[in-house]
Amino acid sequence: MKVKAKLKGAVVKVKAMFKSPMAGTEEAEKKKIKPEYITHIVAKHNGKVVYEVSTGAFVSKNPLFKFEFKGGAKGDELEMTTTDNNGKTETKKAKIK
């Protein structure tokens, strides 16, 4: 997972790229791999949820998400957490620049 957060004016612009094959059952059978895709993404700033999305196998491999929120400052920490269809979670923290 790669996360970049930049403050522009009063808005924090975030780009997050996630590593996942995003392969549902049908695609996994064709590729002869285990079905694996991100089902949930949450971004928190100072403990407050600023972005939350549910996804599925319909999203492209290694997806890139972009979003914006207000209330951040340079040096603050943004925490991104993903959960996949197998229950595996991954968390990454990034400082706002």
In CATH, the number for domain 2-95 is 2.60.40.10
Identify which of 59, 74, 71, 67 has the alpha carbon closest to the alpha carbon of residue 23: 59
Kindly report, residue by residue over 40-76, the tens digit of the pLDDT: 999 999 999 999 999 998 999 999 999 999 999 999 9
Q: Where are the domains of the chain?
A: 2-95
Residue 80 identity (one-letter amino acid): M
Q: Inform me whether the pLDDT recorded for 21 exceeds 90.
A: yes
Q: Which two tokens stand for residue 67?
A: 């979003």
Torsion of CA 24, 51, 65, 18, to 10 degrees: -60
Q: Which two tokens stand for residue 19?
A: 């590593």
Give pTM, 2 decimals.
Answer: 0.89
Cα-to-chain-centroid distance, residue 55: 10
Quote the CA–CA distance of 56 and 41 in Å, as a whole number. Answer: 11
